[in-house]
Structure 1
Amino acid sequence: MRYRVFRALALGVVAVAVSSCSQAPAPVQITTHADDYGQPLGTQPVHEGGDLVMGLSNDPDRLDPTTSSSLYMRYVMSTICEKLYDNDSSGKLVPQLATDLPKFSEDGLTVTIPVRSGIRFADGTPFNAAAVETSLQRHLSMEGSQRTGEMGPITGIDSDGQNVVLHYSTPFAPITAALADRAGMIMSPTALKDEGKDFGDHPVCVGPFKFQQRTVGSSIVVERDPLYYDAQNVHFDTITYRIMPDATARAAALRSGEIQVADTMSPQDADALEADPKMHLLVSGSFGFQGFYINIGNADGAGKPVKPLETPLAKDDRVRLALSLSIDRQALVDKAFKGWYESACTPIAPRTTYATTADTACPLYDPERSRKLLADAGVQTPYPITMQVMNVADQLEYAQQLQTMVAAGGFDLRIVPTEYSGLLAAQKSGNYEALLLGWSGRLDPDGNIARFLSTGSSGNYSGFSDPAMDEVLAWAAHTTSPARREALYEQAVRLIGRENPYIYTYRLRNLTVHSNRVTGIEVYADGTVRLGKAAFVSDRNS
């Protein structure tokens, strides 16, 4: 499957707020910013060795590809745990631990994946098709797995010396894209046997680096792996991921030289960092989205049978639609993020495969209609909603702006600052009413929709269940016709806009900064900061 390049540019010199019968806020002056995904090292001379320190904006959950749901885990694992496939800077899927793209049988029910031979995991265990089969079986069947739904309706997995073969009950078009993410991370079968469910405490995979140690809440250290098949192109001795949730502190640490790279920089700091001659700002669009979950039926934990909650917000789609109509997305994102991000209203990223006008359009900002919907629903206004929000400055600022905006539509938004780990726990357990948290995005739309909205999915954090949605998403995953998939995703977006289990509000751009002492760092639209082949600049270039 071919994917178009995703290059998310800001919307222009002047952002015009979406409006309807209500007067929209005055437009905010913004400036366009070109994408810069970074460049591979190529043939430039670099310094061998050294210890890189990255300021990581949040502490990852457990470093287990099967159970993780954290973007920040992907940052760390990108250096120690390669996947069957990856995506490149153009948004194209490419082999990594596989040797070629999958081969689909004529009926689409058998998928054959050729894998590398003659390489080893960091613990010396041979990498082969049997090891891949072991990891994929774990992703598919382990209790608590977050990967099961991503892999589709698999009926069996087997392997021979050089191939892994997936058997399906119905065709599953998104499998290649799924294997370019955590479902495609292959773990040492020896370590899996020794560690079991504790694998994430001592992960062992194939990668340019290997896990050394972790101090929860403080740092994660990885060291160069001499067994890596491309070790001659790995340059750092170690990489330390230092947990630094405060964006201002990360910016200050960059300027002082305490750290050499930092992710998720604040739009409030981005202009100054971009102008700093000692820094290099990487800017990439995102396949993902930001917004907030509404807990509709997640009473016993994500993936468990739904139990509809009895609050008006949970049981009445008019209340959720009213909340959506209370948000002037473009005006809000421009004010809160100084034009570095863009508004979003659906899980389909613009300028990507399957994006159409119909499946990326925003609802009109209409607080008057919002108040009428609340009246029709018979709820007292202002209607109170408690929203958990990541306890970092940018997110709290955005939530406060959102709080002010939705008040005009008849809502009393109550903000609860929460640590990132607490948000992850709340969304999985269902211990929340509304929760502001996004998704870094995947190449295939299935990875941005089915995971969150299919009945019974381990990532269905809203507890949403709709047979019509299940049928549409199943057909979209089973057909290989681009035109048919495009039409089906338009249907899915219409269903989402009717039910609003998740309210999409903006799409960030990945803002990563590194010192000019470092080169070879890349960040693509999947959001992962790639450090594995980076290096310190040679003294001859200083």
Structure 2
Amino acid sequence: MAATMVGATAGSAATLRVGVQDDPDAMDPATSNTYAARFIFSAMCDKLVDITPDLKVVPQLATSWEWSPDHKALTFTLRSGVKFQDGTPFDAEAVKFNIERMKTMPESSRKAELASVTGVDVLDPLKVRLNLSQPFAPLLTTLTDRAGMMVSPKAAKEQGSNFGVHPVCAGPYQFVERKARDVVRLKKFPDYWNAKDIGYDAVDYYYIEDSTVRLARLRAGDLDLIERVAPTDLGAVRGDGNVTLHSIGGLAVSHLMINMGAGEKANNPLAKDARLREAFELALDRNVINKVAFNGEFLADNQMIPPSSPFYSKAHPVPARNIERAKELIAATGQTRVPVEITYANALTDNRVGQIVQSLASQAGFDVKLLPLESATAIERYLNGNFQVFIGNWSGRSDPDGTLYAFFSCNGSQNVNKYCNKELQQVLDEGRAESDDAARVKIYEKAADIYLTDRPTIPIYHPNWFFAARKSVDGIVMYPDGLLRLTGVKPKS
């Protein structure tokens, strides 16, 4: 592939060549479920609002917003002169179309995120109001991600369910082509509202699953930038005078998701007995996983929300490894050896985690079988709940609702393991309706009590984001959500 990449970009210094770890799923913000797609969307699809590196909500396609006194309506004033990449205008009618599309499409993954929105009123061409069934505190932060990405109504109507084959958004780069498991090509949209701050003529995203191979190609000059540098490769990056390391603490979490009720794979010991889930957690040593797999560069933790969040539960510290207690719990179920199958995408980091988990769990009485799969196959199995345990990697959200509701509400967009606890559902609904931050902290403390006891998933660590770029690339700013914004990124003069 290296020769192909060089040939494809020969004489084109204004093409940014990016190496990515995963092949994206659906290239439609309404149906996408993966970080890989979000990473590319950040160049294609502007949102109503965005976040800053310190997680403040800031304007993008909307220039300002105002909550109604009862917090049951949110009115946006939109940026004027914006065009979609097919030349059609972005306006309040387009916002109405997008919100309604994401709420009503049968295959939409945004329904739960926008469930509180009951209707959209066009007040004038540049003013639109979202009406809510009840106060929904996370709405603004929800709209900083795919729920706030605006696609062309004209293109969406014409293409229907095939929209993801040739997506049309309102961002700085427009779609050119996609070759599955190879490359996604974008080119600069000349009529973008902020085109003066877009420094490359084109962006090519190359799918290179192996992190060490990505780094080798970066150092050889075949790539300009790579995402998710493996912690074990950081020494090589730091020692290379032609490459710059870019890093930031993130919102992401890696966790062992247990199939609780999705199809035949839910017929597994961990799903059937909470004591075995507790034993499995007690068999693990998160600090060992972090040190052996990641040279201690990540943050070992037991919660879906990172400690940097004000909603992190300090009442639930990371449990110490306790092999004897794990064995007691297994014995209490009448078993001696417990079979567990762990599925994951065959990337270097997850391979290492899987092997360490296999070794640690074996000492307590778990016979762990590892099932590494090619990335697209692994994602397909994940989305269909076709696993016993899955090593999940979630890029995180700035509001706890974006993570906890997605995974733990009964109909959450990431609830592929079909876990449903009615008490937790009620608590998560309360968190959505409460606008006072101090009250929300107490609500999410209750949520932590429940999901950390039920253990439908077992969080392992929070990764830091490590990108690397050739020194010829200027203007990179890292964000805690791990997405690459290309505004201001340009070839170094």
Which TM-score applies when normalising by structure 2? 0.95
Equivalent of residue 431 in structure 1, options 383, 386, 395: 386
| Separation of aligned partners in 2, 1:231 and 1:406 | 53
The residue that corresponds to 2:428 in the other structure is 473
Per the alignment, residue 9 of structure 2 pairs with none
CA separation in 1, counterparts of 2:13 and 2:45? 21
Contact 1:149 1:457 in 2 (8 A): yes
Match for residue 220 of structure 2? 256
DSSP-derived class of the 2:394 partner: coil
Structure 2: how far apart are the matches of 1:484 and 1:393?
Answer: 41
- Find out whether 1:367 has 2:323 as its counterpart: yes
Q: Distance in 2 between matches of 1:411 and 1:507?
A: 25
Match of 1:126 among 89, 93, 114: 89
Structure 1 stretches (4+) deviating beyond 3 angstroms?
308-311
8 Å CA contact 2:345, 2:379 repeated in 1: no
Provide structure 1 residue ranges, at least 5 long, that are not aligned to the other structure.
1-47, 301-307
Q: Is the CA contact 2:268–2:388 (under 8 Å) kept in the aligned structure 1?
A: no
User: Which of 76, 81, 98 pairs up with 1:135?
Assistant: 98
Instruction: Choose which of 47, 66, 83 in structure 1 pairs with 2:47.
Output: 83
- Where 2:150 maps in the other structure, the secondary structure is coil
Give the secondary structure class of the aligned counterpart of 2:237. Answer: helix
Q: Does 1:535 align with 2:487?
A: no
1:417 aligns with 2:381: no
Does the 8 Å CA contact 1:224/1:236 hold for their aligned counterparts? Answer: yes
The 8 Å contact of residues 102 and 110 in structure 2, kept in 1 or not, is answered as yes
Partners of 2:345 and 2:268 in 1: CA distance: 24
Deviation at 1:309, TM superposition (A): 4.0
Number of positions where the alignment pairs a residue of Structure 1 with one of Structure 2: 481
Matched, 1:230 2:194: yes
2:268 counterpart of 1:311:
yes
In structure 2, how many angstroms separate the alpha carbons of the residues matched to 1:118 and 1:203?
21
Name the CA distance, whole Å, in 2 between partners of 1:343 and 1:150: 29
Please say if residues 56 and 244 of structure 1, whose CA atoms lie closer than 8 Å, have aligned partners that are also in contact: yes
- Tell me the equivalent position of 1:341: 298
Q: Percent identity?
A: 33
Aligned match for 2:74, one of 101, 108, 111: 111
Answer yes or no: is 1:170 the counterpart of 2:126: no
Q: Secondary structure at the match of 2:131?
A: strand
Q: 1:332 aligns with which of 263, 278, 289?
A: 289
For residue 49 of structure 1, report the CA deviation from its aligned partner: 6.4
Q: What is residue 285 of structure 1 aligned with on the other side?
A: 249
Among 401, 405, 412, the alignment partner of 1:457 is: 412
Residue type of the partner of 2:415? N
Q: Deviations over 1:360-419 (max 9, x none)?
A: x212321211111111122x2220100102112221111101110111222111100112
8 Å Cα contact 2:43-2:171 kept in structure 1: yes
* Partner SS state of residue 523, structure 1: coil
Find the residue that maps to 1:190 and give its secondary structure: helix
Query: Which residue of structure 1 lines up, in the alignment, with residue 6 of structure 2?
Result: none
Paired residue for 1:353?
Answer: 310
Is structure 2 residue 116 aligned with structure 1 residue 153?
A: yes
CA contact (8 A) 1:521 1:534 kept: yes
Report the 3-state secondary structure (helix = DSSP H, G, I; strand = E; otherwise coil) of the residue aligned with 1:437: strand
Q: CA deviation at 1:310?
A: 4.1
CA distance in 1, matches of 2:74, 2:321: 46
Task: Tell me the secondary structure at the aligned position of residue 486 of structure 1.
Answer: helix
Q: Hey, what does 2:333 align to over in structure 1?
A: 377
Q: Using the TM superposition, give the Cα deviation of residue 509 of structure 1 relative to its aligned residue in structure 2, in angstroms.
A: 0.7
Q: Distance in 1 between matches of 2:171 and 2:246?
A: 24
Q: How far does residue 291 in structure 1 lie from its aligned partner after superposition?
A: 1.1
Would you say the 8 A contact 1:293–1:461 is kept in 2? no
What's the counterpart of residue 390 of structure 1? 345
- For the 8 Å contact 1:462–1:502, the answer to whether it is kept is no
Cα distance, 1:422 vs structure 2: 1.8
Question: Aligned letter for 1:84?
Answer: L
Distance in 2, Cα, partners of 1:56 & 1:108: 40
Q: Indicate the residue corresponding to 1:55 in structure 2.
A: 19
Shift of 1:299: 2.3
Q: Aligned equivalents of 2:311 and 2:20: distance in 1? A: 33
Q: Distance in 2 between matches of 1:216 and 1:309?
A: 31
CA distance in structure 1 between the aligned counterparts of 2:237 and 2:92, rounded to whole angstroms: 46
Give the Cα separation in 1 of the matches to 2:25 and 2:322: 39
Equivalent pair of 1:105/1:111 in contact (CA under 8 Å): yes
- TM-fit CA distance, 1:356: 4.2
Unaligned runs of at least 5 residues, structure 2: 1-11
Q: CA deviation at 1:312?
A: 2.7
